């Protein structure tokens, strides 16, 4: 079922180098407000969604591009190969949702929180940096890509971050409380004042990442010795 409707707003301000989407003056947009709404019909008939709650919806391979969600809640929803191109999520909450290789080209994720969610093969580098400030808690982040994302002060609380790439990211003042890393790469990242004191399993090259003011704890900080080409007995 196609959920594609029509362009919602001029994305020029949040796209970098992308083509401009023009809003047709002949299109009259509707805003539907409410609580605890579980309706796929509402998604088909509106592009602007305010204070809506969506539960147990399956967005697998659905096309909902160019929609805007503000102060919405998604509970136990599945975004498997969903087309979220140019979608704007603002002040939204996601609880126990699954994201598997969705399309996130120019997608905006502004001050939105993810609780108990699972991410597999998600390319966050395609998201709009103008609208990108997510927070993650109790979530699984597996084989994802954050290359080039500007995400200072991001919170990763009690997350499992595996085989994921952080390259050329601004993660300054971010927190990784009780998070577990495995096979994750940090390359040329800004990690100033980031807090890894309660994180485990990370491997960070101190020569290729900016670490001034970042916080670490032993024994995990001993991983820096690997890059010094020295032996400690």
Give the model's pLDDT for residue 226: 77
The pLDDT of residue 196 is 97
Q: Which residue reads 């805003």 in tokens? A: 31
pLDDT at 25: 24
**Number of alpha carbons in the 13 Å side-chain half-sphere of residue 173:** 5
What span, in angstroms and rounded, lies between the C-alpha atoms of 10 and 18? 11
**pTM (two decimals):** 0.80
Distance, in Å, from the CA atom of 77 to the CA atom of 37, rounded to the nearest integer, reads 13
For the chain, 233 residues long, the average pLDDT of each consecutive 10-residue run is: 37 39 28 46 82 92 92 96 96 98 96 98 94 96 97 97 97 97 96 97 94 93 78 63
How many residues are given for the chain? 233
**pLDDT score at 125:** 96
* DSSP per-residue codes, 161-215: EES-EEES-B-TT-B-TT-EEES-EEES-B-TT-B-TT-BS--B-TTTSB-TT-B
DSSP, collapsed to helix, strand or coil, labels residue 155 as strand
What per-residue confidence (pLDDT) applies to 153?
96
- For residue 42, what is the DSSP state? H
3-state secondary structure (DSSP) of residue 124: helix
Q: What is the pLDDT of residue 40?
A: 65
Q: What is the pLDDT of residue 27?
A: 26
DSSP class of residue 94 equals E
Evaluate whether 55 touches 40 at the Cβ level (below 8 Å). no
Q: Which two tokens stand for residue 186?
A: 């940090």
């Amino acid at each position: 079922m196609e959920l594609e409707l029509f362009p919602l707003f001029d994305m020029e301000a949040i796209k970098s180098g992308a083509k401009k989407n023009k809003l047709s003056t002949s299109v009259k947009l509707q805003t539907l407000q409410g609580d605890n709404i579980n309706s796929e019909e509402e998604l088909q008939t509106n592009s602007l969604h305010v204070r809506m709650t969506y539960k147990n919806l399956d967005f697998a391979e659905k096309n909902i591009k160019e929609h805007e969600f503000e102060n919405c809640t998604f509970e136990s929803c599945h975004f498997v190969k969903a087309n979220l191109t140019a979608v704007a999520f603002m002040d939204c909450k996601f609880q126990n949702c699954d994201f598997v290789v969705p399309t996130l080209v120019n997608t905006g994720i502004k001050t939105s929180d993810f609780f108990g969610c699972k991410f597999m093969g998600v390319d966050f580098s395609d998201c709009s940096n103008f609208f990108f400030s997510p927070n993650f808690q109790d979530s699984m982040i597996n084989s994802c890509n954050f290359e080039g994302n500007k995400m200072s002060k991001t919170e990763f609380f009690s997350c499992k971050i595996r085989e994921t790439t952080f390259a050329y990211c601004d993660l300054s003042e971010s927190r990784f409380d009780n998070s577990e890393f495995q096979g994750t790469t940090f390359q040329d990242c800004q990690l100033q004042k980031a807090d890894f004191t309660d994180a485990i399993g990370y491997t960070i090259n101190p020569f290729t990442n900016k670490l001034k003011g970042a916080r670490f704890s032993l024994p995990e900080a001993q991983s820096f010795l690997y890059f010094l080409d020295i032996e400690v007995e």
